[in-house]
Homo-oligomer: A and B are copies of this chain.
């Protein structure tokens, strides 16, 4: 095992994971940002990604429920509230449903999660389990893809506005809000990980957790790409535009 890394080295090691394997490099995102997704492909992305959005408060609340550290709980509960909102019509999930309506999907169909690719479920469920079952340190480390998210969100907002008629400040509100929320969230998470990974072994667990999370994100786009871009092999029972027009 390599030697304990100081905070700066360890942070660089975590950031290098984003350089190597964050899903901004996935061809599906590249097609999206070049304006080359057709309406069905965009709908499939929004529909499947809803399942991920829906999973986020489950994993975050589970994390809060496992932490003896009141500072962590006080901070982390904000993520659940950001996502769920304080009342109907508010929150990140609601904003995602507005995006879904913007691309022409019915919000009840999207909320039902019918038509979601099985591979999306398997990946997102694996993430929720990971956060529920691994150490708190690994659970926090797995959230650190947020280090890389703001750049992707900025690129995405500009690209969607440039290329897709559905895009406007209303339909894209989810991403605008995340531009503010994610940096605040990740600042706490990164600080926590840098401080609580006290041995090289713990640092390597954090590295593995973050790599796991990049796998969760990448696998979702692989499944979308395979089903809806090439070779267009939609699994039995999954969303097809012709059935939901």
Contact = CB atoms under 8 A, between A and B. Distances in A.
Interface of A: 20-21, 27, 117-119, 121-123, 125-126, 129, 211, 214-216, 218-219, 222-223, 225-227, 229-231, 233, 235-237
A211 B121 CA distance: 14
20 contacts: A21-B237, A27-B233, A118-B216, A119-B122, A119-B223, A121-B126, A122-B122, A122-B126, A122-B216, A125-B129, A129-B129, A214-B236, A219-B223, A222-B223, A222-B233, A222-B235, A225-B231, A226-B226, A230-B230, A230-B231
Nearest to A227: B222
A226 to B, nearest CB: 4
Given A118-B218, A122-B119, A226-B226, A231 B233 contact: no
Scoring A21, A27, A236 by chain B CB atoms within 10 A of each residue's CB, the highest score goes to A236
Nearest to A238: B215
Nearest to A130: B125
Contacts of A223: 119, 219, 222-223, 226
Contacts of A20: 236
A226 B228 CA distance: 11
A45 to B, nearest CB: 16
Contacts of A126: 121-122, 125-126
Contacts of A237: 21, 211, 215
A230 B227 CA distance: 11
